[in-house]
Amino acid sequence: MTPSTPAPAPADDAADRLARITWSLIAEPSDPVALLARSLLGPVEALALAREATETELTTRLGGELPADTAEPGAPHQRSRRALARWRTRWAEVDLDAVLEDAERRRIRILTPADPEWPASLGDLQETSPHCLWAQGPGRLDELVASRCAAIVGSRASTPYGEDAATGFGAELAARGGTVVSGGAYGIDAAAHRGALAAPEGATIAVLAGGLDRLYPRGNTELLERIRDRHLVLSEAPPGTAPTRWRFLARNRLIAALGQAVLVVEASWRSGALSTARLADQLSRPVGAVPGPITSAASAGCHRVIRERGAVLVTEPSELLDLLPGGPAAGDGRFAVQDELDLLSPSDRRVLDAVPPRSSLALSRIAGEIGFEPAEVDAALARLSLLGLVETVGDRARRARTSR
């Protein structure tokens, strides 16, 4: 909402809630005209226009300029006319009381910005924030995303390498008491969820593109039921809504907004997971990407987001935790090995390098080899002896048998 736009008049909480639920039922999550109308006028007044206004009245109330939509070209009044037609067609088929009764029977709760459980992070979506959310499970959304919450996403056509990495990242984040947000899909999403479920301390949220009455994909039904029974499944689409490509893409903005950081584990060149990374970047969320073999098409998208969008290269769980607010510094990583050789000064290291590995050498020869004064070599050998790296016998030095 621009600073010059007047805020919509306050509405009764109950009326606002019912209006938001109705918008969820009659408009697509990505419908730009519906989102603009709700943002400018408020859910209640916008809904009244949807029921009664002409295309000219709707266009005028929305400032005469409707948001551009590549899927719906045409002049503003044409887009208004199409918007009113599709809203009213769906509205004629909606039985709001039946929808609410069905949701209650299924123990699906409906969240709006007026509910304490509504997370503040969704406010970053501004005018594209969801009308409402349909949630199922014992977890409270606001608490689950309050701290150490990361979205872990990637390709459905994953490899064993990517699935193993996603499982490890999900398990480690959950073991630290964090929450894994993902989309419940095959491949990387499922692996991240499974990793989180393996840690009793953490939690995971599955954000679905369709209604919660039909868990999708069906091959992940058991996994999604475990998430629902232990934590939370979530959707902005009402029950009865089938998942479609455009709903998956719209769903990605919720995953990006709910996570305090987004990690792309494995993604092909045109993977939908890259849209989540792009949206997270627009929301000022840190974005990380796990590299793969340079010969693997399954990781081409990860390499692309590192190269083109400046994503942080992440190779282990500590680096993911480092992306989260207040997280610990990643440090050197598990492959960084430090020993006494790293503590040597350059001059001592040069003296050590001059000592032969399998024979002894006179102090004077060592000094001549490296261009040091004999006294400097003698002092360095004394320090190296204390570290157990060399042995001196008389005026000769050799490598200690236990040294590298």
Q: Tens place of pLDDT for every residue, the chain, 404 residues?
A: 444 444 454 557 899 999 999 999 999 998 999 999 999 999 999 999 999 999 899 889 988 777 665 556 667 778 888 999 999 999 999 999 999 999 999 999 999 999 999 999 999 999 999 999 999 999 999 999 998 999 999 999 999 999 999 999 999 999 999 999 999 999 999 999 999 999 988 899 999 999 999 999 999 999 999 999 999 999 999 999 999 988 999 999 999 999 999 999 999 998 889 999 999 999 999 999 999 999 999 999 999 999 999 999 999 999 999 999 876 555 555 555 556 677 788 888 898 888 988 888 888 888 888 889 989 888 988 888 888 888 888 888 888 876 44
Q: Which tokens hold the place of 128?
A: 């594209």
Backbone angles phi, psi at 204, to 5 degrees: -145, 150
Partners of 262 in the beta sheet? 151, 287
Chain position carrying tokens 């593109």: 209
Amino acid at position 355, single letter? V
Dihedral of CA 66/70/75/81: which sign?
negative
- The token duo for 141 is 């959304």
Using an 8 Å Cβ cutoff, are 196 and 203 in contact? yes
Report yes or no: 279 and 273 within 8 Å, Cβ to Cβ: no
This prediction has a pTM of: 0.82
State the first-to-last Cα distance of the chain, in angstroms, to the nearest integer.
Answer: 66
Supply 63's token pair.
Answer: 């400032």
Q: Which residues make Cβ contacts (< 8 Å) with residue 356, sequence separation at least 6?
A: 398, 399
Owner of token pair 């621009």: 2
Q: Which residues of 14-53 are buried (b: 16+ CB within 10 A; e: fewer)?
A: eebbbbbbbbbbbbbbbbbbbbbbbbbbbbbbbbebbeeb
Cβ atoms 316, 291 nearer than 8 A: no
**Maximum separation of any 2 CA atoms in the chain, in Å:** 104
3-state secondary structure the chain: CCCCCCCCCCCCHHHHHHHHHHHHHHCCCCCHHHHHHHHHHCHHHHHHHHHHCCHHHHHHHCCCCCCCCCCCCCCHHHHHHHHHHHHHHHHCCCCHHHHHHHHHHCCCEEECCCCCCCCHHHHHHHHHCCCCEEEECCCCHHHHCCCCEEEEEECCCCCHHHHHHHHHHHHHHHHCCCEEEECCCCCHHHHHHHHHHCCCCCEEEEECCCCCCCCCCHHHHHHHHHHHHHCEEEECCCCCCCCCHHHHHHHHHHHHHHCCEEEEEECCCCCCHHHHHHHHHHCCCCEEECCCCCCCHHHHHHHHHHHHHCCEECCCHHHHHHHCCCCCCCCCCCCCCCCHHHHCCHHHHHHHHHCCCCCCEEHHHHHHHHCCCHHHHHHHHHHHHHCCCEEEECCEEEECCCCC
- Integer-rounded Cα Rg, in Å, for the chain is 30
Peptide bond into 217 cis (omega under 30): yes
pLDDT of residue 1: 40
Q: What angle do CA 302, 277, 166 make, to 5 degrees?
A: 55
